[in-house]
Amino acid sequence: MRERLPPRGRVERALDAFVTENRLTLAVVAPLVGACSMIAGAKGYLPAAIAFSPVALVAGTLMLRLPLAAGLAPLFDRRAAGALGGLCAYSYAIEYVGTTTGWPYGEFAYGVELGPMLAGVPLALPLFFVPLVVNAFLLTVLLLGPRADDPRVRLPAVVLLVVGIDGVLDPGAVALGFWAYADGGVYYGVPLSNYAGWVLSASVAAFALDRAFDYERLRARLEACAFALDDLVSFVLLWGLVNLAFANWLPVLGALALVAALWRTERFDVALEWPVRGRPWR
C-alpha cells in the first residue's frame, strides 16, 4: 500500500498547483462567504444550525488553511513534526486549564461547538491556534527583513503581532457568540487578561516555531512562495468583515493595519487581482 503512494515531491507539487489555481477562491471568496454566513446566523437571518454547523466550520477552516499547508510542506520534517506536535499538545493543555480555571485568559465558555468537543475543548483547536501564530511568524520575517535574522528581535515581534491579531479575532468571535467571557471585558467584551494570556501562549508558540524550522530555509521558501500568507489574507477579510458588521471599530482598524502590512510585503495581491492561467504566481 505504501509503495502505491506518490512520492512526497509529487504531492507537494500537486498541492502547490491546486492552491495556485484556486488562490482567489481560497483567499478571498471562501472567507467572504463564510463571514456573510456567520453574520447572518448571528443576526438571525440564517438558522444557526446552518451558519454555525460544526462540520462546516471545521471543513471551511481546513480549506482556508491549504495555502499555509502548501507553503510549509517542503519544510516539514521530523524536527518540525516534533515541535508542532508539542505545540498542539500545549494548545490543548492551556485551553483545558483556561476553560476549567479561567487562567490565563479569563473565565470563558464556548457558545458554539467548533467541531467535536472533548472535555470542553474543541478537538480541532490546533487548526485554529497554530496557523494564527505561524502567520504572525511569517509576516514578521517579511516585515523586518534582515532585522528578523536576530531571534532577539524576531521572537518578541512575533509575540506582539500575535497579540495584535487576536485583537482582531477575539472581539469578532465574541460578537458571533463563539465564546463569551463571564465578566465581559473592556475591549468589546474581551477582558485584558485574555491578552496577558496570549502573551504567554504566543511566547511559547514563537519559541516552538523557531525550533521547528530551519530559519534560512524558511525565509527562502517564504520569499519564493507567493501564496504562503494567503491564509492571513483570508483571516483579515473574514474577521475584518465580521467586526465591521458589529461596529467593532478598533478591531476593524486592526484588520486594516494587517492589510497594510500584507500590502507592504506584496502579499495582498490575491485580493485585488483575478488569477490568470499560466501567470507565474511564484
**Banded pLDDT at 275 (limits 50, 70, 90):** very low
Percent of residues, the chain, with pLDDT higher than 70: 94
Parallel, antiparallel, or unpaired: how do β-strands 117-118 and 108-110 relate? unpaired
Using the predicted structure, report yes or no on whether residue 24 has a pLDDT greater than 80. Answer: yes
Overall average pLDDT of the 214-232 stretch: 96
* Other C-beta atoms lying within 10 Å of the C-beta of residue 89: 11
The 10s digit of each residue's pLDDT in 155-195 is 999 999 999 999 999 999 999 999 999 999 999 999 999 99
Write down the pLDDT at residue 270. Answer: 78
**Banded pLDDT at 282 (limits 50, 70, 90):** very low
Percent of residues, the chain, with pLDDT higher than 90: 91
The torsion angles phi and psi of 179, rounded to 5 degrees, stand at: -155, 165
Write down the pLDDT at residue 273. Answer: 63
Using the predicted structure, report yes or no on whether residue 20 has a pLDDT greater than 60. Answer: yes
Using the predicted structure, report yes or no on whether residue 276 has a pLDDT greater than 50. Answer: no
Write down the pLDDT at residue 279. Answer: 46
Q: What sign does the dihedral 90-92-95-97 (CA atoms) show?
A: negative
Write down the pLDDT at residue 69. Answer: 98
Overall average pLDDT of the 5-24 stretch: 90
Write down the pLDDT at residue 6. Answer: 66
Angstrom distance (rounded) from CA 103 to CA 107: 7
Dmax over CA atoms of the chain, in Å, equals 57
Overall average pLDDT of the 211-224 stretch: 96
**Banded pLDDT at 212 (limits 50, 70, 90):** very high
Long-range contacts, 10-19 (Cβ 8 Å, 24+): 11/73, 12/70, 12/73, 12/74, 15/66, 15/69, 15/70, 15/73, 16/70, 16/282, 18/66, 18/70, 19/66, 19/67, 19/70, 19/227, 19/230
Overall average pLDDT of the 30-52 stretch: 97
**Banded pLDDT at 137 (limits 50, 70, 90):** very high
Write down the pLDDT at residue 105. Answer: 97
Angle between the N-to-C axes of helices 30-42 and 54-64, in degrees from 0 to 180, rounded to the nearest 10 = 150
Overall average pLDDT of the 218-225 stretch: 96
Tell me which of 49 and 270 has the higher pLDDT: 49
SS (H, E, C) the chain: CHHHCCCHHHHHHHHHHHHHHCHHHHHHHHHHHHHHHHHHHHCCCCCHHHHCCHHHHHHHHHHHCHHHHHHHHHHCCHHHHHHHHHHHHHHHHHHHHHHHHCCCCCCEEECCCCCCEECCEECCHHHHHHHHHHHHHHHHHHHHHHHHHCHHHHHHHHHHHHHHHHHHHHHHHHHHCCEEECCCCCECCECHHHHHHHHHHHHHHHHHHHHHCCHHHHHHHHHHCCCCCHHHHHHHHHHHHHHHHCCCHHHHHHHHHHHHHHHHCCCCHHHCCCCCCCCCCC
Using the predicted structure, report yes or no on whether residue 251 has a pLDDT greater than 70. Answer: yes
Using the predicted structure, report yes or no on whether residue 125 has a pLDDT greater than 70. Answer: yes
Grid cell 507537494 is found at 12
Write down the pLDDT at residue 9. Answer: 87
Write down the pLDDT at residue 56. Answer: 95
> pTM for the full model?
0.93
The 10s digit of each residue's pLDDT in 44-91 is 999 999 999 999 999 999 999 999 999 999 999 999 999 999 999 999
Angstrom distance (rounded) from CA 125 to CA 89: 10
The full set of domain ranges for the chain reads 8-271
Angle between the N-to-C axes of helices 151-176 and 192-212, in degrees from 0 to 180, rounded to the nearest 10 = 130
Angstrom distance (rounded) from CA 195 to CA 175: 17
Write down the pLDDT at residue 4. Answer: 57
